[in-house]
Amino acid sequence: MATTTEDLLKQALEQNAKLLEQVQLLTEQVAYLTHHRFGRSSEQINPNQTSLLEDDSVFTNPEQTGEQSEEVTEKTTQQRKPKAKRSEILAKDLPVKTTIITKDDEHCEHGHDLKPFGKHLLREQLRVIRPRMFVEKVYVQSYKCVECEHEDGCSHVYQADAPKALIAHSIATPSLVASILHQKYILATPLYRQLKDWQRAGVLLSETTIANWVIKCAELVKPVYDVMRSHLMSQGFLQGDETPYQVLNEPGKPATSKSYVWVARSITRALSR
């Protein structure tokens, strides 16, 4: 039986429909895999976008074997980097300034003169005075009373009262944190983009470290913030503004939701929250 033109046209249309369906399937698979490989983890996926991919596990769950699991565990362990030591953070060629804290009254409780006999290292911190930067080694002067030692045969040792560090066991100083906050909030430079600048200056910091400094210092100045806010809220007339701001880890809200930074001000004072 001879094939008519109508039959050939019908076959061509059926073949074209199958090819279009295959192209649509492959396009959705590529989009799905591209999202999982390069997309943001906080981005939400519309389930209708992968309607043709009924079994997602084909692309997301690889076949697990005993050897493969051991290999993945071994690779993960090798990728962990040890915590940087203090000597690895600060470059050796940075200038060093030594500060020795002495007692205001160099007399013992009996009125005898105290004789300096040594000092011990209290802390090592990094001070920033733009454009100059140096390492400050803070020592505490130790004293002993020779007269009291001669009288009773016992050692009488005294030390100067050292000022409290901004953050305990840290190289952070007010000038260093102020520089980081200036770049972040005044110059709009994110913390991760500041790291290269500090590395070029000879200071190997991490984003986690400076983020913790920002958080801790915010807690330190909160009493001042509360006083300013109380005074501001007592004003009879206020102005306000809002700026959209994305927060990836905000309690009770998905990472893709929109948050706001609110700024309230009077004629002479401004406060943001």
Q: Which of 220, 241, 257 is the last residue of a domain?
A: 220
Per-residue pLDDT band at 54 (split at 50, 70, 90): very low
Per-residue pLDDT band at 60 (split at 50, 70, 90): very low
Domain presence at residue 216: yes
Residue 73 CA: distances (Å) to CA of 67, 68, 80, 81: 10, 9, 11, 15
Same domain, 210 and 145: yes
Q: How far apart are CA 210 and CA 181, in angstroms?
A: 10
Residue 63 has pLDDT above 70, yes or no: no
Same domain, 138 and 250: no
86 CA to centre of own chain: 18
Same domain, 141 and 186: yes
Same domain, 179 and 247: no
Same domain, 124 and 139: yes
pLDDT tens across 199-243, in order?
998 999 999 999 999 999 999 999 999 998 898 888 888 888 998
Same domain, 174 and 230: no
Supply angle C-alpha 113, 114, 120, rounded to 5: 170
Q: Which of 184, 203, 220 is the last residue of a domain?
A: 220
Q: How many Cα atoms are found within 13 Å in the side-chain-facing hemisphere of 241? A: 7
Same domain, 213 and 95: yes
Same domain, 92 and 213: yes
Domain presence at residue 47: no
Domain presence at residue 76: no
Domain presence at residue 30: no
Return the DSSP state at 128. Answer: E
Same domain, 151 and 213: yes
Residues listed for the chain: 273
Residue 40 has pLDDT above 80, yes or no: no
The whole-number pLDDT of residue 1 equals 52
Instruction: Tell me the Ramachandran region of residue 191: left when phi exceeds 0, alpha when psi lies from -120 to 50, beta otherwise.
Output: alpha
Same domain, 121 and 170: yes
Domain presence at residue 107: yes
Domain around 143: 88-220
Same domain, 129 and 97: yes
Same domain, 142 and 192: yes
Q: Buried b / exposed e across 125-150, counting CB within 10 Å, b at 16+?
A: bbbbeeeebebbebbbbbbbbeebee
The whole-number pLDDT of residue 29 equals 86
The whole-number pLDDT of residue 268 equals 66
Neighbouring CB atoms inside 10 A of 58's CB total: 10
Return the DSSP state at 169. Answer: T
Per-residue pLDDT band at 272 (split at 50, 70, 90): low
State the total domains in the chain: 2
**Beta-bridge partners for 272:** 263
Supply angle C-alpha 167, 169, 172, rounded to 5: 50
Residue 131 has pLDDT above 80, yes or no: no
pTM above 0.85, yes or no: no
The whole-number pLDDT of residue 4 equals 80
Q: Which of 220, 235, 260 is the last residue of a domain?
A: 220
